[in-house]
Amino acid sequence: MERKYSDGELEKICNKVKKWYELFSNSKHFERLTPEQKKEAEFIITSVAQYMYSYDLLSPEEWDECSLEDCCANLLPRKVTADESFFRSVAPVLFAFFTFAGEEGLLKDSSALAKKVEQAHERIKRNAANPEYWGMAKSFLMAAKNAGVDIENEQELNGFVAFLNLQRSRQPKGGCQRSW
């Protein structure tokens, strides 16, 4: 039987992972994280849960090393528009979270997941920093951010789009350009 994506299933997964995050945020494993990692932790954990389901249809109980590595080293760097601190924090946060989840009996093979994400740490950072690796939406948002646009501000973002469209309209149209 072929599995199909379901918004309802994604919502259930997000609710479950949010509860797990709340438990994690009160644990000794969370306390050991740096302030930067603590700040990024909830977004990292929920993003992984969303991408693992959206792309591989995997609930947390089904997560495996291969899918996790693809999510963390490929999907997140390609899709998530975030500062370097986010990507520096992915592996340490997930390592701590998986260690916690294993001790609490929330995830099977959590030690293997922790080890896999730790091994992928440098690749995650390298892919996230490489503009050639980014998807179209992330490339656009990073260009806006680099131009000084507050990408959280819809009005500023719309202004940036209008500016790009104006620039594009002033460029010569396709076709041959004769130089004689």
Per-residue model confidence as pLDDT tens digits over 6-57: 999 999 999 999 999 999 999 999 999 999 999 999 999 999 999 999 999 9
Residue 141 exposure: Cα atoms within 13 Å on the Cβ side? 15
Tell me: pLDDT of 170 over 60: yes
In angstroms, the Cα distances linking 41 to 45, 83, 93, 139, 180 are 6, 14, 6, 24, 61
Element containing residue 24 per DSSP (H, E): helix 7-24
The pLDDT of residue 178 is above 60: no
Is 24 domain-assigned? yes
Q: What range defines the domain where residue 139 resides?
A: 135-172
Considering the chain, what percentage of its residues have pLDDT values greater than 70? 94
Is the per-residue pLDDT at 175 higher than 90? no
In the three-class reduction of DSSP (H, G, I as helix; E, B as strand; rest coil), residue 26 is classed as coil
Amino acid making up residue 119: Q
The reply to whether 180 falls in a domain is no
Rounded CA-CA distance 98/58 in Å is 16
Q: What DSSP string runs through 8-69? A: HHHHHHHHHHHHHHHHHTTSHHHHTS-HHHHHHHHHHHHHHHHHHHHHH---GGG--HHHHH
Q: What is the rounded average pLDDT for all residues in the chain?
A: 92
Report which secondary-structure segment, H or E, holds 144. Answer: helix 136-146
Is 92 in the same domain as 139? no
> Residue 76: what pLDDT?
97
Give the pLDDT score at 52.
Answer: 98
Contact between residue 73 and residue 19 where contact means Cβ atoms under 8 Å apart: no
Q: How confident is the model at residue 180 (pLDDT cuts 50, 70, 90)?
A: very low
One domain for residues 55 and 70: yes
At position 51, the amino acid (one-letter code) is Y
Q: Is 91 exposed, middle or buried (0-12, 13-18, 19+ CB in 10 A)?
A: buried
Query: Is 174 a residue whose pLDDT tops 70?
Result: no
| Mean pLDDT within 83-111 | 96
DSSP code of residue 173: P
Taking only the tens place, the pLDDT of each residue in 62-90 is 999 999 999 999 999 999 998 899 999 99
177 domain residue, yes or no: no
Is residue 178 in a domain? no
Q: Are residues 61 and 140 in the same domain?
A: no
Average confidence (pLDDT) over 139-153: 89
